[in-house]
């Protein structure tokens, strides 16, 4: 099993110009590692819809890769979205599922199917051409560079130790800059950043 740092720190080192959508317990953790203008904190993910926001971005920006950092509790809320992503053949979408088997931000209550759900198998069954699962930090880090440049959509399930992140909030005093200001401000900033780079 990986720690959250073993999951996110290698990803932050390998990340170049990809859009990164983070949700729930991964929002602050990613914000501590990255200050990129193409980071977007989809704080509560509208209850499990981060992967669909990422799908829309991937289809809109086919020349750019989109990384989605999702939790297992969030992913379970909208498993059907995996079918939609596969159907759309979003080749530039990489969906990470941090599998700690708990609803971390509400105090680590156990998720349904904890320990039994195999997200990479579900992804294959939905039509994803590439899907992986990792529970060893060294294997994950060794594979990461290749995974980020595969023709997707790609799902990467990473077994994590439960953490203790509180719910992500948007407020001016946040130490992670992308959590300052409203979701609307952040959304329109991302759109402007993407427009400027075209």
Contact status: 25 vs other proteins (CB under 8 A): no
The alpha helices in 45-157, defined as continuous H runs, are 45-48, 50-60, 72-77, 80-88, 119-126, 137-147
Least distance CB 193 / other proteins (angstroms)? 10
Question: Where do the DSSP E strands lie in 72-195?
Answer: 93-99, 102-103, 109-110, 130-134, 154-159
Taking CB under 8 A as the criterion, the residue among 55, 97, 147, 155 binding other proteins is 55
Q: Going edge to edge, which strands form the sheet with 39-42?
A: 39-42, 19-23, 66-71, 93-99, 154-159, 130-134
Contact status: 105 vs other proteins (CB under 8 A): no
Q: Would you say 54 or 117 has its CB closer to other proteins?
A: 54
CA distance 15 to 62: 17
By rule CB under 8 A, what string of x and - marks binding of each residue 65-94 to other proteins? -------------x-xx-xx--xx------
Taking CB under 8 A as the criterion, the residue among 8, 20, 24, 57 binding other proteins is 57
Contacting residues toward other proteins, per CB under 8 A: 40, 44-50, 52-61, 78, 80-81, 83-84, 87-88, 183-184, 187-188, 190-191, 194-195, 198
């Amino acid at each position: 099993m990986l720690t959250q740092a073993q999951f996110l720190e290698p990803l932050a080192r390998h990340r170049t110009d990809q859009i990164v959508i983070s949700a729930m317990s991964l929002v602050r953790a990613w914000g501590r590692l990255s200050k990129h203008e193409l980071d977007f904190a989809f704080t509560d993910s509208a209850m499990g819809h981060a992967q669909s926001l990422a799908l829309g971005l991937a289809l809109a920006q086919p020349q750019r890769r989109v990384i989605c950092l999702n939790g297992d509790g969030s992913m379970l809320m909208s498993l059907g979205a995996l079918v939609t992503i596969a159907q759309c053949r979003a080749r530039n979408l990489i969906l990470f599922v941090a599998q700690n088997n708990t609803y971390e931000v509400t105090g680590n209550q156990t998720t349904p199917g904890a320990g039994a759900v195999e997200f990479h198998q579900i992804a294959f069954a939905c039509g994803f051409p590439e899907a992986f699962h990792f529970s060893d930090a060294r294997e994950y880090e060794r594979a990461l560079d290749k995974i980020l440049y595969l023709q997707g959509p790609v799902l990467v399930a990473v077994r994590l130790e439960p953490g203790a992140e509180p719910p992500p909030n948007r407020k001016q005093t946040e130490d992670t800059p992308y959590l300052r200001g409203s979701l609307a401000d952040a959304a329109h900033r991302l759109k402007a950043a993407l427009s400027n780079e075209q």
